[in-house]
Structure 1
Amino acid sequence: MAPAVPPIAELVAPAAWRTVDFISDIHLQASEPANFAAWQAYMQSTPADAVFILGDLFDVWVGDDAAGHAASDFDASCVQVLQRTGERLALFFMHGNRDFLVGPELMARCRSTLLADPTVLDFAGSRWLLSHGDALCLDDVDYMRFREQVRSGDWQQTFLGQPLTERQAIARGLRRQSLEQHEKRWQSGEPYIDVNAEAARLWLQAANAPTLIHGHTHQPAVHALGSGLERVVLSDWDATAQLPRTEVLRLGPLGLQRITLT
């Protein structure tokens, strides 16, 4: 049976746009200030007409009320950066597997538009299919089962109804469990579970778009899918790595370019 294709939203770029940026998997967290500093500098200085954040901007997001809590100064700082960016350019956000609880309150505060996953961007004379990418990792059966659970309205309503401290504790537990599972897979030599190529092709065909741009896998590359179709994978960010990863995918007059920030 062929993989199901979800509904595909569409965004037509204004004629005035000349350059757009795509980023994902910044994984902002208070324990990694270098990532925040690099991201803040980028958001303050990018020349793009629009920035598309394709998921996992935050390492964890337990509800829009967290940014207003006295103990969440870091979240408040992130929101301030988003607010200032949203005042000077078009800002778009797509849920990732870490920040799928970002809601309309945060989007309104940041003058940002929440995008459905997937969404087609009609820009620069072509159509570009945008996704976080986790919904395409169909071979990771355990994760797909978990994803279906936490993306349900009932689960989210129950979770968001709990006190902030309890939500934060649950999130820490889920993060710890995820890290343990990744470590176990690595030690056992299990192959990395990537995007399902057949599903990616079906999405592109349904969207009438030649190129899929996504994050999630932390494996930046360009993959040919046949019949003129391809997927372009965004890099995650790690400003403290031996070779720092602070990469932006920029689409403009020169086509698609990977920009490494300095």
Structure 2
Amino acid sequence: MTTLFISDLHLSAERPDITACFLRFMAEETHHIDALYVLGDLFEMWIGDDEDSPFLQQVKHAFKTLTDAGTPCYFIHGNRDFLIGKQFSRQTGMILLPQHTVVDLYGIPTLILHGDTLCIEDQAYQRYRKKVHNPVIQWLFARLPLSYRVKVGDKFRSNSGKNNQTKNQSIMDVTQAEVVRVMRDAHVTQMIHGHTHRPDIHELNIDGIPAQRIVLGDWYDHGSVLVYRPDGYQLETRNFSASNTK
């Protein structure tokens, strides 16, 4: 009995090393698992379900192979791929979940999310997030020509990198008070998220009750997987050159 969690792969045609590691992971490690959860930023950028390429077909095929075999696969949108929609879900068999979802992990109610909503001190990002999650703006953007959306996506990636270089690193991490508030509201003592690229297991206290916040790692330098079993869990890494655990 095993459930796997991944996030922040930032897959793109420009990083075949990440894609190769991901495809090995899907082929070698997802047999006989209970479920796979992808907690956002699967792609470096997603501009619409109508985009297609040999690279995207590979990724979609890997998920479809898994779900066709009967293994459930769940997806929560990240800040880079929040436009993934029903067409992608149909093509892959992945189930799209709300941005904050409580799941039962072998008897432990666990809140799962991408994590960007916890970084409330980054006010500029939160204003941007509110704007791009407006359904009207998304509807209008989806009706622009694909070639134009590609250019917009490329510009966003460039601007995002520049803006993050000038930000204080502390405001790009989660706000502890917000973590506690969200967990308290969800009535859970365990949270799993990505986004910050700071893999770790944090112990905290909510109203006198011990709690845990598990942060998933990114896939920039190596793969990162949370392996969760009824008797415990572990954050593991995967080499780009091979699928073994470091």
Fold shared per TM-score above 0.5: yes
Question: What CA distance in whole angstroms lies between the structure 1 residues aligned with 2:118 and 2:67?
Answer: 29
The aligned counterpart of 2:124 is 142
Equivalent in 107, 117, 123 of residue 99 of structure 2: 117
Could you tell me the percent identity over the aligned residues?
34
Q: Please tell me whether the aligned partners of residues 204 and 229 of structure 1 are also in contact (alpha carbons under 8 angstroms).
A: no
Question: What CA distance in whole angstroms lies between the structure 1 residues aligned with 2:68 and 2:205?
Answer: 41
Q: CA deviation at 1:192?
A: 4.8
Equivalent in 82, 103, 125 of residue 85 of structure 2: 103
Q: CA deviation at 1:256?
A: 1.1
Equivalent in 182, 188, 200 of residue 203 of structure 1: 182
The aligned counterpart of 2:60 is 79
Q: Please tell me whether the aligned partners of residues 52 and 91 of structure 1 are also in contact (alpha carbons under 8 angstroms).
A: yes
Task: Give 1:160-171 correspondences, 5 Å limit.
Answer: 160-171=142-153
The aligned counterpart of 2:136 is 154
Q: Please tell me whether the aligned partners of residues 121 and 171 of structure 2 are also in contact (alpha carbons under 8 angstroms).
A: no
Unaligned runs of 5+ in 1: 1-17
Indicate how the Cα distance of structure 1 residues 194 and 123 shifts in structure 2: closer, same or farther if over 3 A, else same: same
Question: What CA distance in whole angstroms lies between the structure 2 residues aligned with 1:44 and 1:212?
Answer: 28
Q: CA deviation at 1:190?
A: 5.6
Question: What CA distance in whole angstroms lies between the structure 2 residues aligned with 1:95 and 1:60?
Answer: 12
Q: CA deviation at 1:162?
A: 0.3
Question: What CA distance in whole angstroms lies between the structure 1 residues aligned with 2:74 and 2:170?
Answer: 33
1:64 aligns with 2:49: yes
Q: Please tell me whether the aligned partners of residues 194 and 216 of structure 2 are also in contact (alpha carbons under 8 angstroms).
A: yes
Q: Please tell me whether the aligned partners of residues 191 and 212 of structure 2 are also in contact (alpha carbons under 8 angstroms).
A: yes
The aligned counterpart of 2:241 is none
1:25 aligns with 2:25: no
Q: Please tell me whether the aligned partners of residues 201 and 229 of structure 1 are also in contact (alpha carbons under 8 angstroms).
A: no
1:250 aligns with 2:227: yes
Number of residue pairs aligned between Structure 1 and Structure 2: 233
CA deviation profile, 1:4-63 (whole Å, cap 9, x unmatched): xxxxxxxxxxxxxx2111000000000110100110111112242210000000001111
Question: What CA distance in whole angstroms lies between the structure 2 residues aligned with 1:202 and 1:182?
Answer: 26
| TM superposition outliers: structure 1 runs of 4+ over 4 Å | none
Question: What CA distance in whole angstroms lies between the structure 1 residues aligned with 2:134 and 2:64?
Answer: 28
RMSD: 1.3
Question: What CA distance in whole angstroms lies between the structure 2 residues aligned with 1:100 and 1:190?
Answer: 23
Indicate how the Cα distance of structure 1 residues 190 and 91 shifts in structure 2: closer, same or farther if over 3 A, else same: closer
Q: Please tell me whether the aligned partners of residues 77 and 84 of structure 2 are also in contact (alpha carbons under 8 angstroms).
A: yes
Q: Please tell me whether the aligned partners of residues 22 and 249 of structure 1 are also in contact (alpha carbons under 8 angstroms).
A: yes
Q: Please tell me whether the aligned partners of residues 120 and 130 of structure 1 are also in contact (alpha carbons under 8 angstroms).
A: yes
Q: CA deviation at 1:141?
A: 0.3
1:40 aligns with 2:19: no
